[in-house]
Amino acid sequence: MNTATMNVSSLLIASVLVIISMGFSYFQKLKLEKETLIGVIRAIVQLTAVGYVLNFIFGLENPLFTTMLVLFMLYNAAYNASKRGKNIRNGLLISFVSIGGGTAVTLSILVIAGAIKYEPYQIVPISGMIISNAMVAIGLCYKQLISDFKNKRDEVETKLSLGADILPSSIELIRDSIKTGMLPTIDSMKTLGIVSLPGTMTGLILAGTPPLEAIKFQIMVTFMLLSTTSIAAFSACYLAYKGFFNERKQLR
Amino acid sequence: MNILKFKNISYRDGDNIILDNISFEVNAGDFISIVGPSGSGKSTLLKLCSHLKSPTLGTILFNGEDISKSSPSSLRKDIAYCFQTPYLFGDTVSDNLSFPYSIRDRKVDMERINYLLSIFNIDKDFFNKTIINLSGGEKQRVALIRTLLFEPKIILLDEVTSALDVDNTLTVENVIRDLNNTGLTILWVTHNPEQSKKHANKILTLENGKISSLEVIK
């Protein structure tokens, strides 16, 4: 396989693309020039720093460091997802367990199946992909759950008043929230190759991998995103709904 | 013998005092009309009975047992609550009438359902109707049937006839009266003075969260 390289002067010429965007902003008086410049500088600094960190960790080839980096990513994802669900009780813990569970199951299956190795250069980028996908999914789940428990209070109270436990009283809301979390992943899966040329495949092809080989990786990525999203969404909703009730099975 | 007892019940919602130190007893077989101006705490009183809310202070006893210590789900099966605005869930009438069976892991008893449909003057084919096509009055009767499927010991009715026409109001009143005659205890919140006196043996009047009178009329 050819390793893709890019020299710095090519990258500098490519930065003209940023100037085009800022030019539009200036002539259209969008006042986005400062924001764009800050965004571009941050992207360069952050990506360069991550590049050095990854270079260091890939060089160590130590499973402990790899696991610690995955845990760090997990914590950050859980923190971000819990901010989406401010009314979710124990949101940080639930998010960590849900994203962590989904990631652990998916990575285990992939490693056992021999699709990937527990090597940092494979585990770190794959974890990044599935963790961020699960984070977005459970953020959507929380948003839907909070909105449903606000807007469908009558439905839940009616079912409680008939003597139903809290799970049968909330099951429709839970299902609705899991669906909301999973739909973007399912929708993007349906349009793979038609609307979007996915990142993994594009990256591999750019790096010189034959398209048919790149597709195999993309199919694996699609499966793992689906699995992690469904596990994370399912766990998060089933753990979070209980927080909307007190110990006397009354809505808070 | 009393089936339900309120002992020094107060309920606050933030700084608002909704119910203030209320005490009264309900005997088995009582038909109590609860009256009073809007905001006097009538609906809150019913929600406390069915344990959808807990009092801020005081104790409620059901058959001598403190309801805050009993299982909320089994208590709500004994003390059924019919809301002022009926909420029908799912898509069809059958979704609503089969729900009480599914939460008890029981098979749907069509004989019982058809019997209740008939006493509320509803055709049998109603069972498969979609709820979107029902009128307000039909929804309320379906909601009433849903609460009566398993013969609760007390039924709490929150202005259940306010959306019904004269004929349907009469049908519901007669069904409730007949159920009371078989020993079912009724607590009925109503705004209609004539209705409050029609079948009730007691009238409980609430004002500003306090009991202003508990009148025995029969």
Instruction: Find the mean pLDDT for residues B174-188.
Output: 92
Cβ-defined contact of B77 to A155 (cutoff 8 Å) = no
Cβ contact B52–A155 (<8 Å):
no
pLDDT at A154: 92
Of A161, A168, A172, the CB nearest to B76: A161
From the CB of residue A28, how many other CB atoms can be counted at a distance below 10 Å?
9
Percent with pLDDT over 90 in chain B: 70
**Is B84's pLDDT higher than 90?**
no
B50/A162 Cβ within 8 A: no
Q: How many domains does chain B have?
A: 1
Q: What's residue A197's pLDDT?
A: 67
State whether A163 and B53 contact (CB < 8 Å): no
Lowest mean pLDDT among A242-251, B27-36, B76-85, B191-200: B191-200
For residue A172, give the chain B residue with the closest CA. Answer: B90
Residues of B in contact with A154 (CB under 8 A): 83, 85, 87
pLDDT at B95: 95
pLDDT digits (tens, 9 = 90+) for A195-243: 766 777 888 888 888 888 888 888 888 888 999 999 999 999 999 999 9
Q: Distance of CA B180 to CAs B29, B47, B140, B152, B173, Å?
A: 6, 21, 19, 12, 10
A161-188 mean pLDDT: 94
| pLDDT confidence band for A151 (50 / 70 / 90) | very high
pTM: 0.84
Q: Residue A6: what pLDDT?
A: 74
pLDDT exceeds cutoff 80 at A193: no
A interface with B, Cβ–Cβ below 8 Å = 154-155, 157-165, 168, 172, 248-251
The domain that contains B19 carries what CATH number? 3.40.50.300
Q: What is the mean pLDDT of residues B51-70?
A: 94
Strand arrangement of the beta sheet that strand B16-27 belongs to: B16-27, B2-13, B57-62, B65-66
- Compute the nearest-CA separation of A252 from chain B (Å): 9
Rounded average pLDDT over B76-86: 92
**Residue in chain B nearest A248 by alpha carbon:** B72
B81 contacts A163? CB cut-off 8 A: no
Q: What is the pLDDT of residue A90?
A: 93
Proportion of chain A above pLDDT 90, given as a percent: 51
Do B150 and B181 meet the contact criterion of CB atoms below 8 Å apart?
A: no
Q: What is the least distance, in Å, from the CA of B54 to any CA of chain A?
A: 8
pLDDT tens digit string along A179-189? 999 999 898 88
Show residues of chain A in contact with B102, CB under 8 Å: 168
Query: Is residue A1's pLDDT more than 50?
Result: no
Range A22-36 average pLDDT: 87
Mean pLDDT, chain A, rounded, equals 89
Q: For all residues of chain B together, what is the average pLDDT?
A: 92
**Amino acid occupying residue A113:** A
- CA pair distance B1, B26, nearest whole angstrom: 8
Domain range for B37:
2-216
Give one DSSP letter per residue of chain A, joined into a string. Answer: -PPP---HHHHHHHTHHHHHHHHHHHHTT---HHHHHHHHHHHHHHHHHHHHHHHHHHHH--HHHHHHHHHHHHHHHHHHHHHHTTTSTTHHHHHHHHHHHHHHHHHHHHHHTTSS-S-HHHHHHHHHHHHHHHHHHHHHHHHHHHHHHHHTHHHHHHHHHTT--HHHHHHHHHHHHHHHHHHHHHHHHHTBTTTB--HHHHHHHHTT--HHHHHHHHHHHHHHHHHHHHHHHHHHHHHHGGGGB-TTS-B-
Distance CA A1, CA B60 (A): 77
Q: Which residues on A lie below 8 Å from B147 (Cβ)?
A: 161-162
Q: A25-29, B66-70, B115-119, B194-198: lowest mean pLDDT where?
A: B194-198
Q: How many CB pairs under 8 A join A and B?
A: 59
Contact A207, A4 (CB under 8 A): yes
Q: What is the mean pLDDT of residues A95-118?
A: 93
